[in-house]
Amino acid sequence: MHIDSAAAETAPGTEFQGPPLSDRSWLRRIDVAIGYLVEIPAALLVVAEIVVLFTGVISRYVLHQPLVWSDELASFLFLWLAMLGAVVAFRRSEHMRMTAIVSMTGPRTRAFLETVALVAGLIFVALMLHPAYEFAAEEVFVQTPALEISNAWRAFALPIGLGLMLLIAVIRLLETADWRLTVGALILGLAIAGGLVALHPVLAGLGNLNLLLFFVLGVGALVLSGVPIAFAFGLSTFAYVTLTTQAPSMVVAGRMDEGMSHLILLAVPLFVFLGLLIEMTGMAKAMVGFLATLLGHVRGGLHYVLVGAMYLVSGISGSKAADMAAVAPVLFPEMKARGAKEGDLVALLAATGAQTETIPPSIVLITVGSVTGVSITALFTGGLLPGLVLAVALCGLVWWRYRGEDLSHVRRASAGEIGKTFMIAIPAIALPFVVRFAVVEGIATATEVSTIGIVYAALAGLLIYRQFDWRRLFPMLVTTAALSGAILLIIGAATGMAWALTQSGFSESLAVVMKSLPGGTIGFLLVSAVAFIVLGSVLEGIPAIVLFGPLLFPIARAVGVHEVHYAMVVVLAMGVGLFAPPFGVGYYAACAISRIHPDTGIRPIVGYILALLLGLLVVILAPWISIGFL
């Protein structure tokens, strides 16, 4: 899993990290050329989205002359950003994967599974290329209302992006050092595809048993073997639709377009970029520095600082990877110098990642609002206290573990030092409040508000902290596009799968089962929490939310659970699964960012996971925590 890609800034031409590559320089040159061809426009699209949305805010709120075309243009560019970002992520091998099992295999098996993952991606994009072209061609007859241009200019992002991924996949297979790996993976993929086609008459008569075959066994096998989640979802959905239904394959492309085109999801790349920006400008360091002088002399003080810093930083960036990358390098050296064990550090970092999943502007909350129709403003308001409850639970365990810490060698900061660091940190601490104020007061929408944060952070870095490395700007923009493309391709593929599940009648069957659970609303919430812990560990949060959010939120309303309360429960439960080993990929991201071996944190994290579960139970039993301020 490459969740830590938000923390890594790389220049164009970054090499693929997958199966062993041979030294074919002419292929490398083509690959590098594609890197520049894709990464430069992807970075420019991120800048264009920031400019368009911020201009819309200024025009509407300051000049009182709304631009009727700003949202339409932003949506128009957004699909191109998503697809080019997905191409960048594919080229860098940064699409989200579950690699826990792959990493436990031997070098030969691991290389073969890496090649299988690449072949699976190649098969998916090859299968989808023609349906995507058909879909885009149909959009020629649709005209945008404000810009009055053909919607095909937007829709052709799908086949062009898929075509570029196909070209990159072919180059990667030609580069593979051991041709037997490539041949073996291709034979395996074609044999499975041929077998399914041969069984078409049998599959057509199985009815809803096909759901088990394609969406449980099929997706499970692909995900556990290391195939990127987006391609696992896409392959299973394409096979299900074409082999077991009368729907044309173009429907899959249409559902992908629908899932990736919600304007509210534009907040994803913008908040990812904002997270990278606050780290680059030194704002995150200023906040952490203030907390460290305030609590550094207390037993376990820097651990409290880690919990608090993650809470504050999460209120700005929305990206867990960006949060961890901003906080860990600042705190960990001093914590190690005070005798903290590496395993406990990475365990607490991972636990705070789960704790802060509901802190606005959480990307997962934005996704919830996009797929369920729940108000983003209500979700942002409701997410503050649940995260605080889990923070208190973690701090309680920190107090217990470090109640005997020797601090005789630690100097307590003076009032003057605390005041000085506070003054330095004020602009950084103010940013979450600026972002929230802009949304609540109607200055900007949940999508647009990220641009206000970006402009604020850039000005603070240039004028106040005097820390703005222009050389890092382009790599940050490319990283933003890559991570966003990986996330949005998952959302697109998961939207297609959710459509297939709904059309099959599965949603009605699920509703009947969930409504009949014993224990009423509490029983429903407890079962949902357990389900999303499991889903979070295997599928990650965003695909789990996109798949099951539209199915379960209406059921929650039917059994009397407030939709915001339900969102907090499932998002926190998903976060626990995401950051809990052995399958939780967020845990391995925390290890990668902190450069600590995963084995060292396995035992210490058990206590933190139990603390998180205790906090989650409190949130379940006390709905006011989630909805008291709505």
Residues 256 and 322 in one domain: no
Residue 24's pLDDT band (cuts 50, 70, 90) = low
158-162, 237-241, 297-301, 416-420: which has the minimum mean pLDDT? 297-301
Q: Which of 222-231, 324-333, 390-399 has the highest mean pLDDT?
A: 390-399
Which of 469, 493, 511 is the last residue in one of the domains?
Answer: 469
Q: For residue range 475-495, list pLDDT tens digits in order.
A: 999 998 998 888 888 888 888
**Do 271 and 363 touch, CB atoms closer than 8 A?**
yes
Q: What is the pLDDT of residue 353?
A: 87
Q: What is the DSSP string of 86-123?
A: HHHHHHTT-S----TTGGGS-HHHHHHHHHHHHHHHHH
Q: Is residue 445 part of a domain?
A: yes
Task: Between 66 and 379, name the one with better pLDDT.
Answer: 379
User: Could you tell me the two tokens for 262?
Assistant: 């919600």
Quick: pLDDT tens for 34-73: 989 999 999 999 999 999 999 988 988 888 888 888 888 8
Q: Are 258 and 491 in contact (CB under 8 A)?
A: no
Q: Could you give phi then psi for residue 340, rounded to 5 degrees?
A: -65, 140
Asked whether residue 446 is domain-assigned, the answer is yes
Question: Mean pLDDT over residues 206-213, rounded?
Answer: 83
Q: Are residues 153 and 302 in the same domain?
A: no
Q: Which of 263, 286, 312 is the last residue of a domain?
A: 263
Point out the domain boundary residue: 447, 469, 491.
469
Task: Let me know whether 193 and 293 are in one domain.
Answer: no
Average pLDDT, the chain: 84
Closest CA to 573 of 520, 527, 608: 527
For 351-377, write each residue's pLDDT tens digit.
Answer: 998 888 888 878 888 888 888 888 888
Looking at the fold, whether 114 and 255 belong to one and the same domain comes out as yes
d(CA 23, CA 533): 43
| Overall average pLDDT of the 289-303 stretch | 79
Q: Are residues 70 and 159 in the same domain?
A: yes
Measured in degrees and rounded to the nearest 5, phi and psi for residue 176 equal: -55, 130
Question: 511 in a domain, yes or no?
Answer: no
Same domain membership, residue 23 and residue 166: yes
Virtual CA dihedral for 383, 388, 394, 395, nearest 10 degrees? 160
Nearest CA to 429 among 448, 450, 451, 456?
Answer: 456
Residue 156 has a pLDDT of: 93
Query: Is position 599 within any domain?
Result: no
Q: Are residues 183 and 36 in the same domain?
A: yes
What is the pLDDT, as a whole number, of residue 15?
46
Q: What Cα–Cα distance (Å) separates residue 44 from each residue in 51, 65, 78, 81, 286? A: 10, 26, 12, 9, 30
Residue 521: predicted pLDDT: 87
Residue 259 and residue 270 in one domain: no
The answer to whether residue 477 sits within a structural domain is: no
Query: Which phi and psi angles does 143 have, rounded to 5°?
Result: -110, 135
Residue 594 lies in a domain: no
Residues 178 and 318 placed together within one structural domain of the fold? no
DSSP 177-194: S-HHHHHHHHHHHHHHHH
Q: Is 232 in the same domain as 323?
A: no
What pTM was estimated for this model as a whole? 0.81
The average pLDDT across 294-303 equals 78
Structure tokens at 590: 């925390």
Q: How many domains does the chain have?
A: 2
What pLDDT sits at residue 408?
A: 67
Please tell me the distance from the alpha carbon of residue 583 to that of residue 240, in angstroms, as a whole number.
27
Q: Report yes or no on 497 lying in a domain.
A: no
Q: Within this chain, do residues 10 and 39 fall inside the same structural domain, yes or no?
A: yes
In this prediction, residues 279-285 reach a mean pLDDT of: 84
As a whole number of angstroms, the distance between CA 587 and CA 593 comes to 10
In a domain, 310, yes or no: yes
Q: Are 585 and 354 in contact (CB under 8 A)?
A: no
Domain containing 461 equals: 266-340+380-469
Strands (E), 520-610: none
- In order of 296, 328, 352, 364, 492, the CA distances from 345 in angstroms are 16, 9, 11, 25, 36
The per-residue pLDDT for 231 is 92
Q: Are residues 205 and 305 in the same domain?
A: no
DSSP state of 360: S
Would you state the pLDDT for residue 84? Answer: 95
Judged by average pLDDT, the poorest of 103-107, 113-117, 313-317, 544-548 is 313-317
When pLDDT is averaged across residues 236-265 and rounded to a whole number, the result is: 87
